[in-house]
Amino acid sequence: MPSQNYKVFFEEAIKQIKEEMIKNNQENEFLLWFNMNYVEDEISQITVSVASEFMWMQMNLKKYVKKLEDKINELTGQNISIVHIVKNNPTPASEKRETVEKTTENTIKTEENQDSSLKSDSKIHQSPQIKENKTEISQKKHPQLNENFTFETFVPGENSIYAYNASISAAKNPGKAYNPILIYGGVGLGKTHLMQALGNFIYSSNEKSKIAYTSAENFTNEFTTSLKNQTIDTFKKKYRNLDVLLLDDIQFLEGKEGTQEELFHTFNSIYDKNGQIVFTSDRPIKELKGFTERISSRFSRGLNVDLQPPNYENRIAIIQKKLEILNKTIPQDVIEYIAKNCQTNVRDIESCITKSIGYAELVGKALTVEIAQNQLRDTINNPYSGTITIENIQKVVADHYNVSIADLKSKKKDRKFVIPRQISIYICCSLTEYSTTEIGNEFGGRDHTTIMHARDKVESLLKTDPSMSSTVELLSRASKDFRSSLKNHFQ
């Protein structure tokens, strides 16, 4: 008879996690990903049953298995691991231990390598330029780089082809073709993917290359720690002798003059010996505040390229490739539904795919558009989601000034159009996370400098014109309320 010595601890751990997630408004997430049944236990392991291997893989990728293990270990004071069987498989876990342990070990390794795939594009694109290196990349793995982030696993479209081709060119001629490269854009569009693909390509060609990938936050923390521990020479030796520096999210360095100073010298040291440098940011250099003149000039010295949200055709290709990677198939109408309604970034697209498939497998039903609509109603970018969108801000402002949205997007320079246009742009910059480039696209294809000028113009007027201040406050509040009223209307 299967042992259940740890069942009471398992149930208590599940209870505590549920309470924590409910407090964080994640009850639906809990119900979907903690749907498992206790089967048996041994001295240092608990076996649970789940709906499918796909569900188990996603639970690991989201680190929910580890979360449960940590909670059980906290309650028992022992180091207990969790393994699984699939519900429909009648074979007792004790008879399948070797297979289960092997699957778990491989899945956890996959989690470590694929976790950041939730933060950016992870698609496949077969390019003649890089196909010959595919085997090498799979054989040579850099310890800091995600092996799945390669040029082959990125699907370029109109939104990203320039950045994609530039990254390939730099990877083939590091330190010579484009140096440095700054890739900027909104969250989940593939900045980190392209950066690490470049690193993986160089490493596959020369395993002796000194390559470091880190975030600006980690770089800052390392630098601060080295000062505190008086190990600054070790820090300098680590970074200034690199062949390739990949620094993610440089916007984190805003206002940190000490770290900027060190990065300035690190940049010069690598650049002077023809080393390759790649940065990423959530916005263009000109929009970054709190940077010294000389570090800004270093960021701007080479090639600056932006990533835009994928268009409909590219989103279809992304979904199809993601399904290929997962070895899953879903109906074409579900693919089209997700592609049509999830327009923000690749990370959100991946989340929609995962949640839809996970729920269908959990309840044992074929995935349909109706199921997808129901499961994604709180997350998908539909007309009544809780997110403040550019379109709705435009509608609120246009109605207030009795002009059309087309007028706001037009090139008309009459004052009755310019003022509401500038106010719309200012509110978009204030209430949304869209980059100025993305906002410009929604205002008739204006470039980011025009958007910045409009934003700054209104900012200046707010300091001297009380009527402008009250109008902007009124329209900002109306834009927020507009979303809430739409959501209530459709519920």
Q: What is the pLDDT of residues 219-261, one digit of tens each?
A: 999 999 999 999 999 999 999 999 999 999 998 898 899 999 9
Is the predicted pLDDT of residue 61 greater than 60, yes or no?
Answer: yes
Closest residue by Cα to residue 330 from 359, 356, 363: 356
pLDDT tens digit sequence for 299-335 = 888 889 888 888 888 888 888 888 887 888 889 988 9
In the chain, where are the structural domains located? Answer: 7-110, 131-307, 312-375, 390-490
Q: Are 281 and 288 in contact (CB under 8 A)?
A: yes
Fold of 390-490: Chromosomal Replication Initiator Protein Dnaa; Chain: A; (1.10.1750)
| Whole-number Å distance between alpha carbons of 151 and 32 | 33
Q: Would you tell me how many other CB atoms lie within 10 Å of the CB of residue 71?
A: 19
Alpha helices (H) along 206-276:
216-228, 232-240, 257-272
CA atoms within 13 A on the CB side of 361: 25
Selection from 445, 203, 167 nearest residue 280 by Cα: 167
- Torsion angle, alpha carbons of 227, 233, 236, 238, to 10: -110
Highest-confidence segment of 72-76, 266-270, 369-373: 266-270
DSSP state of 132: G
Q: Coil, strand or helix: which one is 424?
A: helix
* Count of helix runs (H) and strand runs (E) in the chain: 22, 8
Could you tell me which CATH class the domain 312-375 is placed in?
mainly alpha
% of the chain residues with pLDDT over 90? 32
Average pLDDT of 109-127?
A: 39
Domains 131-307 and 390-490 share a fold: no
The superfamily in CATH containing domain 131-307 is P-loop containing nucleotide triphosphate hydrolases (3.40.50.300)
Does residue 1 register a pLDDT over 60? Answer: no
Residue 486 reports pLDDT greater than 50: no
Residue among 349, 346, 350, 372 nearest 359 (CA):
372
* Assigned CATH for 7-110: 3.30.300.180
pTM exceeding 0.95: no
Residue 58 pLDDT grade (very low, low, confident, very high; cuts 50, 70, 90): confident
* Identity of residue 48: V
CA angle 52/56/58 to nearest 5° reads: 115
State the chain's maximal CA–CA distance in angstroms: 83
Give the CA distances from residue 7 to residues 11, 41, 80, 131, in Å, rounded to whole numbers and listed in that order. Answer: 6, 8, 12, 50
Span between the terminal Cα atoms of the chain, in Å? 49
> Does residue 251 contact residue 280 with C-beta atoms inside 8 Å?
no
Secondary-structure percent of the chain, ordered helix, strand, coil, rounded to 5: 60, 10, 30
Are 185 and 151 in contact by the 8 Å Cβ rule? The answer is: no
Q: What is the predicted pLDDT for the residue at 379? A: 63
Q: Where are the beta strands (DSSP E) in 134-242?
A: 181-185, 211-215
Alpha-carbon dihedral sign for residues 168, 169, 170, 171: positive
Laid out side by side, the sheet with 303-307 consists of 211-215, 244-248, 276-281, 181-185, 303-307
Q: What is the H or E stretch that residue 338 is in?
A: helix 332-341
Instruction: Compute the distance between CA of residue 420 and CA of residue 424 in angstroms, rounded to an integer.
Output: 6
Q: Does pLDDT of 187 surpass 80? A: no
Give the pLDDT confidence score for residue 133 in this predicted structure: 39
Which tops the pLDDT comparison, 153 or 124? 153
Q: What is the pLDDT of residues 130-173, one digit of tens each?
A: 333 333 334 468 888 988 898 988 888 877 888 999 999 999 99
Confidence at residue 386, expressed as pLDDT on a 0 to 100 scale: 44
Residue 378 DSSP SS3: coil
User: How far, in Å, CA of 473 to CA of 458, rounded?
Assistant: 12
CB-CB contact of 360 with 367 (8 Å)? yes
Angle of CA points 122, 123, 129, to nearest 5°? 115
Q: Is the pLDDT reported for residue 94 higher than 90? A: no
- Placement of tokens 């048996």 in the chain: 40
CB 203 within 8 A of CB 134: no
- 194-216 pLDDT, tens per residue? 999 999 999 998 888 999 999 99
Mean of all residue pLDDT scores within the chain: 81
User: Residue 116: is it exposed, middle or buried by C-beta count within 10 angstroms (0-12/13-18/19+)?
Assistant: middle
- The predicted-structure confidence for 95-116, as pLDDT tens digits, reads as follows 444 443 444 444 434 434 434 4
